[in-house]
């Protein structure tokens, strides 16, 4: 099964949407394997958004992501990266369809509630950036047989 990173952004925390967002991922059937609150620093943001550092809007990203602590989560499931991205919706909240996290809770490109890894490879890199090995847990999720067909596991 895949693991993916989700960051609940400062706007999510400030608007009191933490429980709602986590609830959606749990109800979908994803397994929470790690979660912690942290304050992002300039160094980690420059590493995480290295592909955007030279863009004129990077300061906006940095200011937004340092506005308050964030919550980083590791979610696990079959096709977890794709499932989380579909649930999050397009980056621009104004263009995200209703029913997606961003479509229901965001009116912004930046203040769009969550960051979600965009590929399995990126997820592995991002997980290593935000979690130590002892902060991500492997444990039996007893409801698996009710989430997937027996030939999917």
Report the chain (153 residues): mean pLDDT per 10 consecutive residues. 97 98 98 98 96 95 98 98 98 98 97 98 98 96 89 89
List of domains in the chain: 2-133 (3.30.70.141)
Contact yes or no for 16/23 (Cβ under 8 A) = no
Contact yes or no for 30/83 (Cβ under 8 A) = yes
Q: What is the pTM of this model?
A: 0.95
Catalytic residues, which ones? 115
The whole-number pLDDT of residue 145 equals 87
Sign, CA dihedral 141-145-149-153, equals positive
Instruction: Report the C-alpha gap between 2 and 109 in whole angstroms.
Output: 27
């Amino acid at each position: 099964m895949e693991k993916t990173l989700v960051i609940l952004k400062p706007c999510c925390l400030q608007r009191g949407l933490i429980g709602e967002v986590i609830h959606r991922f749990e109800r979908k059937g994803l397994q929470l394997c790690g979660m912690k609150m942290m304050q992002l620093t300039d160094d980690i943001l420059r590493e995480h958004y290295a592909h955007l550092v030279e863009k004129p809007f990077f300061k906006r990203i940095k200011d937004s992501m340092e506005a308050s602590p964030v919550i980083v989560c590791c979610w696990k499931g079959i096709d977890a990266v794709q499932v989380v991205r579909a649930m999050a919706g397009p980056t621009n909240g104004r263009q995200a369809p209703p029913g997606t996290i961003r479509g229901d809770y965001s009116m912004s490109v930046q203040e769009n509630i969550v960051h979600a890894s965009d590929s399995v490879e990126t997820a592995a890199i991002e997980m290593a950036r935000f979690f130590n090995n002892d902060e991500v847990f492997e444990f039996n999720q007893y409801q698996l047989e009710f989430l997937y067909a027996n030939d999917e596991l």
